[in-house]
Amino acid sequence: MAGQIPLVDYLVLDPEPRLVAHECDSCGARFFDHRNACASCGSLSFHDAEVATTGEVRAFTIVALAAPGIPVPFVAAVVDCGGTSVRANLINVPPDPEHVGLGMKVRLATNVVGVDTEGTEAIGFGFEPLEGASNGG
């Protein structure tokens, strides 16, 4: 294998996978995309802030219809990671209400989303159920 690269800039793979947000120095708002100014207070100053790797499902939907080539069904969710909202898919769980629920305890997980001709793997992320946790609903 030639190596691995994160699919998005805010996913850090080494030494352990984690998400890093841009946190406003003035008001503490967190963003995963590049910002020239804070959308909450207008400040121009940010610093990197690690996001908790475990969280709780606050909202979800089971997607049954998607763009061509996207396998369905899958679960799209909003996960509260220690006060930071993260939008991501739930992975390694059957996409049905029997296995997914509000309040479900989850942890960050990575998966290979593609491989280039050199053998480099593109690594994406989602959240998977914590071992032994109930689905909360």
Domain that holds residue 82: 3-18+52-129
Q: Is residue 32 part of a domain?
A: no
The pLDDT score that the predictor gives to residue 131 is: 73
Q: Is residue 81 part of a domain?
A: yes
Q: Is residue 42 part of a domain?
A: no
Q: Is residue 84 part of a domain?
A: yes
Q: What total of structural domains would you count in the chain?
A: 1
The pLDDT score that the predictor gives to residue 132 is: 54
E strands present in the chain: 3-6, 11-12, 18-24, 30-31, 46-51, 54-63, 74-81, 84-90, 105-115, 120-129
For residue 61, give the CATH number of its domain: 2.40.50
The pLDDT score that the predictor gives to residue 2 is: 76
Q: Is residue 44 part of a domain?
A: no
Q: Is residue 98 part of a domain?
A: yes
List per-block mean pLDDT (blocks of 10 residues) for the chain, which spans 137 residues: 89 97 97 94 97 98 94 97 97 95 97 94 97 51
